[in-house]
Structure 1
């Protein structure tokens, strides 16, 4: 897919404007085309169907599409066309299905976290969730302004917390540009890691690989308090750290070896941290340019969710853009 475009899904909302801006920069980074896609509203689709069925030549050939004019003005187009390398398509059908179809030929599909029809309190719109769950290409969801990254101080603190125990000494400026990827060494598909390393390469930045491990409950406290846990230092072996952390870092190193060889110029930070994987990735998102997650467990069954619990939680709560990457084995 070296010639595949970046697709920006727009609807004229402020949320899709942020997605369009992000997608345009991404197309420049990858030196590829930008395709701006707009799924026509129901009344426009009904008009097109009515005109086609009646063969009424007195009616205008096309329904006015104000979003197309909006896109032209935003991109600074001269004349009636669009800037070089940018194309526009008006789509028909339901939003998730139309975008799923057009996404089959995309490098990635970028969209806002909410559209025009969402409630202001929703963190993630139904269309964004549906597309991220079914598209054949990576889907990047750009959050609305209220969920933007915190100030530099908060970002630096988050980066330090996410990288605890993994040499996270970078300053705030460096950490703010990294690509964060969630890794379960035994389960995360190669496609997810390749996407993360590729994104770091085109940005000239670091990949931070985050894995989380559960802290087992203390046997002495299970009867009285089933939710009590012992601190990480309680698991230490001869004072050299937490065995679970050391084993996870070892597994990470083995899994990342082919990626390091393929992308020798991409710096890598490894972080093995206690706690919930989604929560750790949300924390790391405060100091990240992009968070990358796999779409679902590779051994899902017919009754399982189309999108995994970690990806679902990160999409709902991350403070910056999130890329949900499918695998070649997906049923799409």
Structure 2
């Protein structure tokens, strides 16, 4: 069974950006596109103009209008659309279960500054066990910036944030596959900080200690990526093991990226509610590029 690329649409500019990104991704993967619009009537102290019937008609029109817009842009793409009733996070998580990946739009918070991660997107990312890509609408200023950058011949890279303590095969696979589909280079970033005892024990006074640790981290990184390089020989891979907070280095690398890929651990103590982690939070709130969050054990 061929899994589609699923997109949550809500009639907003960010929803349209997500639908367009999802359509291009479906073409790259040669799979259908499934649009999902979640309808949940919310009672208001003061009824909106036109009342609940007007709101319902608007909701019914959203998937039809987005489908027509995409069919004009991608006439050869197999597109289906559904309007489903229920809380949006639940509807989107259900759609993700049946898809290769789920694409959700989010609101930008300024020029090249990233996402305003709303409750729907946050709940969906935290609970689904399928990859979720968050896409935001670009401003006119950002489109102009992107247009100037598009003069570069080589395609923008896919960036993978790699945690060597818990690499996650699903995360690495998704990044390599995304780069291969785009014929794009893959930049793998591993940020790390030396243990506190290095400074306290006086080891930090040795001018070679930092280089030695960096060499060890780089070797561990090469070992983790070796089987994936062999599986995807067409992907040009650059490895970057650097001292410092991982989120900061990922955001630096994401400036001109086609996609940023990060992992989210799904196994947590039962007392802890599902969450996306502090690195993912930092990247999502400040990353200018689309971000794929890939669950892994």
Q: TM-score range by the shorter chain?
A: 0.7 to 0.9
From 274, 281, 284, the counterpart of 2:243: 274
Larger Rg: 1
What does 1:50-89 align with in structure 2 at a 5 Å threshold? 65-76=60-71, 84-89=77-82
Please tell me whether the aligned partners of residues 153 and 172 of structure 1 are also in contact (alpha carbons under 8 angstroms). no
User: Kindly tell me: are residues 219 and 294 of structure 1, through their superposed partners in 2, closer, same or farther at Cα, counting changes over 3 Å?
Assistant: closer
The aligned residue for residue 160 of structure 1 is none
Larger proportion of helix? 2
Q: Give every structure 1 segment of 4 or more consecutive aligned residues whose post-TM-superposition deviation is greater than 3 Å.
A: 146-156, 171-174, 215-220
Larger proportion of strand? 2
User: Kindly tell me: are residues 276 and 207 of structure 1, through their superposed partners in 2, closer, same or farther at Cα, counting changes over 3 Å?
Assistant: same
How far the C-alpha of 1:122 sits from its partner, in A, is 6.9
SS at structure 2 position matched to 1:266: coil
Is 1:244 the counterpart of 2:192? The answer is: no
TM-score normalised per structure 1: 0.73
The aligned residue for residue 268 of structure 2 is 300
Deviation string for 1:52-104 (max 9, x for gaps)?
xxxxxxx9xx95612023213312459xxx97510001111101011101110
Q: Between Structure 1 and Structure 2, how many residues are aligned?
A: 275
Once residues 16 and 243 of structure 2 are traced to their aligned partners in structure 1, the CA distance between those partners, rounded to angstroms, is 37
Please tell me whether the aligned partners of residues 113 and 141 of structure 1 are also in contact (alpha carbons under 8 angstroms). yes
Please tell me whether the aligned partners of residues 152 and 172 of structure 1 are also in contact (alpha carbons under 8 angstroms). no
Is 1:103 the counterpart of 2:96? The answer is: yes
The aligned residue for residue 213 of structure 1 is 192
User: Kindly tell me: are residues 18 and 272 of structure 1, through their superposed partners in 2, closer, same or farther at Cα, counting changes over 3 Å?
Assistant: same
The aligned residue for residue 15 of structure 2 is 16
The aligned residue for residue 323 of structure 1 is 292
User: Kindly tell me: are residues 287 and 306 of structure 1, through their superposed partners in 2, closer, same or farther at Cα, counting changes over 3 Å?
Assistant: same
User: Kindly tell me: are residues 103 and 273 of structure 1, through their superposed partners in 2, closer, same or farther at Cα, counting changes over 3 Å?
Assistant: same
Q: Give the unaligned 5+ runs of structure 2.
A: 44-52, 109-113
SS at structure 1 position matched to 2:107: coil
Once residues 206 and 174 of structure 2 are traced to their aligned partners in structure 1, the CA distance between those partners, rounded to angstroms, is 34
Once residues 245 and 150 of structure 1 are traced to their aligned partners in structure 2, the CA distance between those partners, rounded to angstroms, is 39
Tell me the C-alpha RMSD between the 2 structures: 3.4
Once residues 31 and 153 of structure 1 are traced to their aligned partners in structure 2, the CA distance between those partners, rounded to angstroms, is 27
User: Kindly tell me: are residues 209 and 180 of structure 1, through their superposed partners in 2, closer, same or farther at Cα, counting changes over 3 Å?
Assistant: same
Is 1:125 the counterpart of 2:125? The answer is: no
